[in-house]
C-alpha cells in the first residue's frame, strides 16, 4: 500500500485505522463528512504529528463525482463510511439505504474506474442477526433484523457483485462488536462507562443478549491484514474475539474496574423491537486465523480498562443523562 483512501475516517474505527496507517508510513487520504465547521470528527483527537501527515478531504459519500475525485491516485481503499446506529435506522431507514448502499456503489464504481488494487469493504456482524448456530462462521445465513443490518447486507452483496461482474478486487471484512477509546455513546460500552463515571443509576435496554467484543486495535489489525492478503480478495472474513458476554456481564466488569455498584434500570426507549433484537453473537474467527494469521491480542478486561481510562479523561465529550440514538 502506497496511497491509501479511508472513507469514514472521522469515525471511531476509521480514526484508529487512519492513525495506524500513518504510523506505518503510508500516505493516507482521509474522507470525512463535509460540514460548515470544518470538523474532522475523531481525527481531531489524533496527535498533531499524525494529523499533519493526513490528506483530509471533506465531502459526501453519496456524491459520485466527489467520491471519484477522492479515489483518484489511490491504490488501496478502506471503505468504512456508513450510518451505523441501529436505533436511528428505525427512525430514518431511507438515509441508511442512501449512505450505506448507494455510497458503497459510488466507492466501488470509482475503484473500478481507476483500477484500484484493493478495496476493503466493511460489513458488520449485525448482518447475521441472532445466531442460528454458534460460533458464527461466514456461511451463517444473513438476516435483516434492522434497517441498518438490511442496508449492510445489501452493500455486501453489491461489493460481491463488483468482484464477480467486473473483477474489482474486493475483500469484505465483517467485524463483530468493536469497542475502545473514542467510541461514541451510541454504543453500549461507552454508554455504560459514561453513566457509571457520572454516578447515579445506569440506564440500559436489554441486558441478556450476548455480544462478541473486540478491542479496536485488534479490529484495525484485521483491516490491515485483509488489505495485505491476496487470498482475501472475493472473500468475507469475520474479525471477532471468539468470546461472548451478556450486556449485564459486561456492565458488571465495568463497575468492578471503576469501583462502583450502581443500580441498573431498564429504559424501554433503549430496547430494540422484540423481533429486531439480536439475541446472540459469537464469532468463529478461524478463517481469519487461516487466511490472515490474525488473532485477537487484547482480552476484555484489558480493553475495558484502557477504554475507561480514556473516558475518564474525556468525560466532557459525553452526555450520560441523554439517550444517544
Cα 93 to Cα 90: distance, rounded to the nearest angstrom: 6
| Count of Cβ atoms closer than 10 Å to residue 190 Cβ | 26
Cα 176 to Cα 282: distance, rounded to the nearest angstrom: 8
Q: If you search the block for the grid coordinates 478502506, which residue do you land on?
A: 78
Per-residue pLDDT, 1: 75
Across the range 110-132, mean pLDDT stands at 98
pLDDT in tens, 205-243: 999 999 999 999 999 999 999 999 999 999 999 999 999
Residue 16 and residue 224 in contact, taking contact as beta carbons nearer than 8 Å: no
Residue 32 in grid coordinates? 470525512
Contacts 24+ apart (CB under 8 A), 193-196: 193/254, 193/258, 193/307, 193/308, 193/311, 194/311, 194/315, 194/318, 194/320, 195/262, 195/320, 196/254, 196/255, 196/258, 196/260, 196/262
pLDDT in tens, 10-24: 999 999 999 999 999
Per-residue pLDDT, 187: 97
Across the range 254-275, mean pLDDT stands at 97
Q: What domains are there in the chain, each with its CATH number?
A: 3-178+216-239 (3.40.50.720), 182-211+243-280+299-317 (3.90.25.10)
Q: Is the pLDDT of residue 110 over 80?
A: yes
Per-residue pLDDT, 325: 86
Across the range 98-118, mean pLDDT stands at 98
Amino acid at each position: 500500500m502506497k496511497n491509501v483512501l479511508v472513507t469514514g475516517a472521522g469515525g471511531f474505527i476509521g480514526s484508529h485505522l487512519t492513525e495506524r496507517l500513518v504510523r506505518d508510513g503510508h500516505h493516507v487520504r482521509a474522507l470525512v463528512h463535509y460540514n460548515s465547521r470544518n470538523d474532522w470528527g475523531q481525527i481531531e483527537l489524533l496527535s498533531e504529528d499524525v494529523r499533519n501527515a493526513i490528506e483530509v478531504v471533506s465531502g459526501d459519500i453519496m456524491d459520485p463525482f466527489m467520491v471519484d475525485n477522492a479515489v483518484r491516485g489511490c491504490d488501496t481503499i478502506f471503505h468504512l463510511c456508513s450510518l451505523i446506529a441501529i436505533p436511528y435506522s428505525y427512525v430514518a431507514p431511507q438515509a441508511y439505504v442512501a449512505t450505506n448502499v448507494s455510497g458503497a456503489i459510488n466507492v466501488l464504481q470509482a475503484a473500478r474506474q481507476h483500477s484500484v488494487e484493493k478495496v476493503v469493504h466493511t460489513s458488520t456482524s449485525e448482518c447475521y442477526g441472532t445466531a442460528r448456530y454458534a460460533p458464527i462462521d461466514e456461511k451463517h445465513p444473513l438476516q435483516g433484523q434492522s434497517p441498518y443490518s438490511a442496508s449492510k447486507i445489501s452493500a455486501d452483496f453489491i461489493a460481491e457483485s463488483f468482484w464477480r461482474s467486473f473483477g474489482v478486487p474486493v475483500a469484505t471484512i465483517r467485524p463483530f462488536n468493536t469497542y475502545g477509546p473514542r467510541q461514541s455513546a451510541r454504543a453500549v460500552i461507552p454508554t455504560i462507562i459514561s453513566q457509571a463515571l457520572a454516578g447515579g443509576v445506569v440506564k440500559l435496554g436489554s441486558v441478556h443478549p450476548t455480544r462478541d467484543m473486540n478491542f479496536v486495535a485488534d479490529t484495525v489489525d484485521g483491516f490491515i491484514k485483509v488489505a495485505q492478503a491476496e487470498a482475501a480478495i472475493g472473500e468475507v472474513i469475520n474479525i471477532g474475539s471468539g468470546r461472548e458476554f451478556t450486556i449485564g456481564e459486561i456492565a458488571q466488569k465495568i463497575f468492578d474496574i471503576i469501583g462502583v455498584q450502581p443500580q441498573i434500570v431498564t429504559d424501554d426507549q433503549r430496547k430494540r423491537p422484540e423481533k429486531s433484537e439480536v439475541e446472540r453473537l459469537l464469532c468463529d474467527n478461524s478463517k481469519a486465523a487461516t487466511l490472515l494469521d490474525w488473532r485477537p491480542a487484547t482480552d476484555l478486561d484489558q480493553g475495558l480498562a484502557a477504554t475507561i481510562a480514556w473516558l475518564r479523561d474525556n468525560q466532557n465529550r459525553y452526555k450520560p443523562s441523554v439517550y444517544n440514538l
